[in-house]
Amino acid sequence: MERIDGYAPIREYALVGDGRTTALIARDGAVDWLCLPNVDSPSVFARVLDAERGGSFRLEPGVPYEAERRYQDNSNVLETTFTTAEGVVRVTDAMTLTDDDRLSPLRELCRKVEALSGTVPLRWSFDPRFGYGERRTELDRRAGRWFAHSGTECVALGAWNVGEITANGATVGGELRLREGDSALLELSAAHKEPAVLPSRDDVERRLAQTARFWPRWAGRIRYDGPWRDAVVRSVLALKLLVYAPSGAMVAAPTASFPEWIGGSRNWDYRLTWLRDASWALDALIRLGIDDEAHAFFWWFMHASRVTQPRLQILYKVDGSAHSKERELSELAGYRRSAPVRVGNGAADQVQLDVYGSVLDAIWLYVQDVGHVDGDTGKEIAKIADYVAEHWRERDSGIWEVRAETTHFTQSKALCWVALDRACKLAERGLIPDRTDRWSAAADEIRAFVDKQSWDAERNSYVRAPDLRELDASLLTMAILSYDDPAGERLRGTVAAVERELRQGPFVYRYRGEDGVGGEEGAFLTCSFWLVDALARQGRLDDARRLMDELVGLANDVGLYSEEIDPNSAEFLGNFPQGLTHLALVNAAHSIEDAQ
């Protein structure tokens, strides 16, 4: 793997996690991103956002090597095998789980090195930089451990059989040579307070072994035997890492400010939960039989949104709070000089009407298959539908969160129709108060607006908005969420127009027009999987299968996808791994299976 000015290609990262936070590990063995104690906390390692100031935890051979990696079968435990002229070593990386699967205040990253043949020299360094690299790190040694701290934040380094350790400022490291059959262990641990008894190597090894047992047991719950099963299972395992276990929220991605174009300014923090993902997530989880996570996510977004109901905010923090102030970290250079680096997300303050369709559809999916709603919750749902009936005529910023002037986005209006349609279905079941006359009347008005104002007869397609006569790949969701018959004339024409105007090979751009943010962007991988989904629902199975085959082949070597991709180089762009991409893959596979 070749780094460019100290930065690894996004495609070269893998993810490990423990249900509270995650770490990105490059193919060359460097942990370049880790936030503590939680996924949305400030970083301890952020080399991905500044190769000089961000900090990292490095481990690689000191001689030329080739690296091959994989996740253990049905697991989120990562193995990297380094092959050199002098021998072969394997590094096993995991964020460990507690002995009884319960949540613990401990966060622990375990890095086990095993010599498989020969004698391989390795070098390592531990260089934490707290608060996105903005705080000064102090280092001291106590009770056989190195402690790095800044204010009240502290991480400890445990090291066994690694030879001599040297300190240089706030960095510790060393070199080791392991002979065939030998092993060494490095352990990063963080907790709110220093434990009275520090863990031994046996303690860490036991937790690593327990973690290795946990993941296949959990993955064994996945109920799917359809096409592309390996890709589906890997996507579900990746999605599990995006779930914040204490609340059940699923973040859009575990990273912040990975650029949508190298050198550009489209750099956003995705360590939050978007309610619009609810429909896609519930659909995937329920179909796969992952009921515990479906229950948790459903009740998380129902409770989190109570802060603002009947108005729904588009995103919330993983603890359910509604405020996420966006700020720029001017001291960080950004990934490959892609500035500014942003944390927090200002889109929280936007009006995005499509969210109502996603949430009401998720509620409908939930009550059909895995749960029920009580009377008080039913009343709240009815008030949300009332809000849609009253406010659907407003302008909004749309699904893509444009930072230009608001307008009447077609997809937003269509999903307002979806919201009212699902509310009527819920009322018919007696699950929410019945105001179907009002909701049906508003739904009819929405359909009349969309069919008249947003239809382009020359293109034989819906367009982005009445005043934006261009295509938008989000229109594919009108087929997926059954705004109309997917095989009907208008949606067939719309899907064909998206292919004609936004598709480049297997890649699909979101749109081509202005959005109030300067610079270019890559093709949006979710849109490619949405196209597969729409094609399958229209009965174009051969086309859907061919495209799906191409897209499955675009994953990185451990089966992960980013938010976007450069169609010319296949370079990953945007935050990584992207939950919506993996959700779209799972749901597209299901749609093909259903159509078959």
Q: What is the pLDDT of residues 113-155, one digit of tens each?
A: 999 999 999 999 999 999 998 888 989 998 788 999 898 889 9
Q: What number is the average pLDDT over the span 9-37?
A: 97
Residue 509 lies in a domain: yes
Predicted TM-score (pTM) of the model is 0.96
pLDDT for residue 515 is more than 80? no
- Shared domain check, 359 and 502: yes
191 and 256 inside one domain: no
Residue 195 has a pLDDT of 52
Q: What is the CATH number of the domain that holds 58?
A: 2.70.98
pLDDT band at 192 (very low <50, low <70, confident <90, very high): low
- Runs of H (alpha helix) within 408-488: 410-428, 436-453, 477-480
Q: What is the pLDDT of residue 104?
A: 59
CATH code for the domain in which residue 452 is found? 1.50.10.10
Q: Count of alpha carbons within 13 Å of 583, Cβ hemisphere only? A: 23
Are residue 243 and residue 189 in the same domain, yes or no?
A: no
Look over the chain and give the mean of its residue pLDDT values, rounded to a whole number. Answer: 93
Domain assignment present for residue 444? The answer is yes
Taking the C-alpha atoms of residue 491 and residue 480, their distance in angstroms, rounded to an integer, is: 10
Q: Which one of 219, 242, 273 terminates a domain?
A: 219
3-state secondary structure 488-523: CHHHHHHHHHHHHHHEECCEECCECCCCCCCCCCCE
Please identify, among 219, 239, 274, the residue that sits at the C-terminal boundary of a domain: 219
Is 129 a member of any domain? yes
Average pLDDT (234-251) is 96
pLDDT tens, position by position, 271-303: 999 998 888 999 999 999 999 999 999 999 999
Average pLDDT over residues 220-230: 95
Domain for residue 193, yes or no?
yes
Question: In which residue are the tokens 């050199």 written?
Answer: 84
pLDDT at residue 516, rounded to an integer = 65
Residue 439 falls within a domain, yes or no? yes
DSSP letter at 148 equals E
Co-location of 262 and 141 in the same domain: no
Same-domain pairing of 306 and 195: no
Backbone conformation region of residue 60, classed left if phi is above 0, alpha if psi is from -120 to 50, else beta: beta
Of 106 and 8, the structure prediction assigns the larger pLDDT to: 8
Average pLDDT, stretch 459-479? Answer: 96
Q: How many CB atoms lie within 10 A of CB 590?
A: 20
What is the per-residue pLDDT for 197?
Answer: 63
Residue 224 in domain: no
86 and 166 both lie in a single domain: yes
Model confidence at 73, pLDDT cuts 50, 70, 90, reads very high
Same domain, residue pair 262 and 384: yes
Where does a domain end: 189, 219, 249? 219
In the three-class reduction of DSSP (H, G, I as helix; E, B as strand; rest coil), residue 376 is classed as helix
Residues 185 and 241 in one domain: no
Q: How many domains does the chain have?
A: 2
DSSP β-bridge partners for residue 534: none
User: Are 340 and 426 within one domain?
Assistant: yes
pLDDT at residue number 134: 86
Which amino acid, one-letter code, is at 112?
Answer: K
Whether 63 and 147 share a structural domain: yes
Q: How far is CA 87 from CA 1, 3, 125, in A?
A: 19, 24, 21
Terminal-residue alpha carbon distance, the chain: 41
437 and 355 part of one domain? yes
Q: Which domain holds residue 205?
A: 10-219
- Residue 5 lies inside a defined structural domain of this protein: no
- Mean pLDDT computed over 550-575: 97
Within this chain, do residues 335 and 420 fall inside the same structural domain, yes or no?
yes
Residue 4 in any domain: the answer is no
Percent of the chain with pLDDT over 90: 85
Retrieve residue 314's tokens.
Answer: 């588009």
